[in-house]
Amino acid sequence: MQSNSIPKLEIKVIIGLGNPGPAYCATRHNIGFQVVDALADQHYGSWQAKNNMELCSITFNDHKLLLVKPMTYMNDSGKVLSYLAKQGVAQDNILVVHDELELPFGVLKLKFDGSAKGHNGLKSIMALGGSNFLRLRFGIDRPVNREDVPDYVLAKFRETKSQIDEKIDLALQLIADYLTVSSQ
């Protein structure tokens, strides 16, 4: 699940990528929102609306973390970076959780730096802050035809809720493992 080339970073913020609104809540593109929602629930956090985002502060092993859900739609996710910069958060203090077409459903991989590979949420973040951040790539598989990608990512999972929840739990464990190792 994790490569040895992942640096130990002081993560202060976890951004889950997705689109706001009930029409998108259970779609493949919103798996980032689902993961940070589960993390907030696990740590008894509550979300607060602020400007163009929702924020939730949690404590993990005596370490304060800010969870962020951009409410700007995927293509403008990077707009939250100006707020984070004002809070003293550097690019390498951020973990972004996002859907990944290049991985089979539920395969989880941490990656540091690199390209956006066509992901508009990552493109937005990189355009406004660079690529020097950690990502948790959550595999959603890909449709056979490239032209089906926009509809595919905005569609609901074909997997069951229990299968999705199981993979979200694995994502939370991967995040916990990384945060524990990087704080030692």
DSSP notation for 117-145: TT-HHHHHHHHHH-S-SEEEEEE----SS
Amino acid, single-letter form, for residue 73: Y
- Beta bridge mates, 98: 137
In a domain? residue 90: yes
Is 63 known to be catalytic? no
Which of 29, 43, 63, 119 is labelled catalytic?
29
pLDDT band for position 170 (50/70/90)?
Answer: very high
* Residue 63 to residue 179: CA distance in whole angstroms: 9
For residues 118 and 115, what is the distance between their CA atoms, to the nearest angstrom? 8
In a domain, 20, yes or no: yes
Residue 1 lies in a domain: no
Residue 5 in domain: no
Report yes or no on 158 lying in a domain.
Answer: yes
pLDDT tens column, 3-62 = 447 899 999 999 999 999 999 999 999 999 999 999 999 999 999 999 999 999 999 888
Does a structural domain hold residue 29? yes
Q: Is 3 part of any domain?
A: no
How many distinct structural domains can be found in the chain? Answer: 1
Q: What is the CATH number of the domain that holds 166?
A: 3.40.50.1470
Beta strand extents in the chain (DSSP E only): 13-16, 48-50, 53-60, 63-70, 94-100, 108-112, 134-139
Under the banding of pLDDT at 50, 70 and 90, the label for residue 117 is confident
pLDDT of residue 106: 96
Residue 145 counted as domain residue? yes
Please work out, in degrees rounded to the nearest 5, the angle formed at the alpha carbon of residue 52 by the alpha carbons of 21 and 172.
65
Domain range holding 81? 13-182
